[in-house]
């Protein structure tokens, strides 16, 4: 591996590890149930995977089969969302039902629910990619991804939880920048014209 490749991997590891490490040291975790903590960290992992996905699509992570790993990372994202929601449901079913029915009074919940459904939509579009045709698939998947990213970033930003503000902001900004850079480089929006 080249120095450039090593630096890319080190920067990615740092961008992901710092928010996870600082969240793990949060005093807010002291009184939480283990299931709740696992659910929260599944959300953090999901946010981190949103940073990895566009880097794979752009071929910026050296030494890995980008397309295949993109598929597996997408599956990991779906699993992280399921663990996040299921864990929260196990600790407080009425709250999660309110979120899923879009009647929760907390704004971050609405953003999270929208992002969750968009993750599932993006995954379903990926499963049916060959049936949809490349143009329709790419456009639909990209729109779903934009909704996922915006919804997730706003969801994460509005929650005052275990994630420390500075590292959370940095990770959120990196996710936004990477996804919009990937969309621009792949010229997805030209298909609308």
Tokens standing for 174? 């990196």
CB-count exposure of residue 162 (10 Å: 0-12, 13-18, 19+): buried
Q: Concatenated DSSP letters for 108-141?
A: HHHHHHHHHHHHHHHHHHHHTHHHH-HHHHHHHH
pLDDT at position 115:
97
pLDDT at position 35:
96
CB-count exposure of residue 134 (10 Å: 0-12, 13-18, 19+): exposed
Range of the domain at 11: 3-192
The set of long-range contacts for 130-134, using a CB threshold of 8 Å and a minimum separation of 24, is none
Give the orientation angle of helix 66-91 with respect to helix 107-127, to 10 degrees: 140
pLDDT at position 132:
84
Name the stretches of the chain with pLDDT < 70.
Answer: 186-193
As for how many domains the chain has, the answer is: 1
pLDDT at position 192:
46
Distance CA 95, CA 59 (A): 40
pLDDT at position 193:
40
pLDDT at position 188:
55
Distance CA 5, CA 186 (A): 22
Distance CA 73, CA 97 (A): 27
């Amino acid at each position: 591996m080249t120095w450039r490749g090593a630096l890319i991997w080190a920067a990615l590891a740092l961008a992901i590890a710092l928010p996870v490490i600082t969240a793990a040291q949060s005093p807010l975790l002291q009184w939480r149930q283990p299931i709740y903590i696992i659910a929260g960290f599944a959300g953090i992992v999901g946010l981190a995977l949103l940073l990895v996905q566009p880097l794979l699509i752009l071929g910026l992570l050296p030494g890995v089969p980008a397309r295949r790993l993109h598929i597996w990372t997408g599956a990991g994202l779906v699993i992280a969302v399921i663990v996040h929601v299921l864990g929260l449901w196990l600790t407080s079913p009425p709250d999660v039902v309110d979120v899923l029915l879009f009647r929760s009074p907390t704004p971050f919940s609405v953003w999270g629910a929208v992002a969750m459904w968009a993750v599932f939509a993006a995954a379903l579009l990926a499963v049916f990619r060959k049936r949809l045709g490349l143009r329709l698939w790419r456009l639909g998947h990209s729109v779903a991804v934009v909704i996922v990213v915006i919804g997730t970033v706003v969801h994460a930003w509005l929650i005052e939880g275990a994630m420390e503000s500075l590292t959370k902001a940095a990770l959120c900004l990196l996710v936004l920048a990477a996804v919009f850079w990937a969309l621009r480089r792949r010229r997805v929006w030209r298909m609308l014209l």
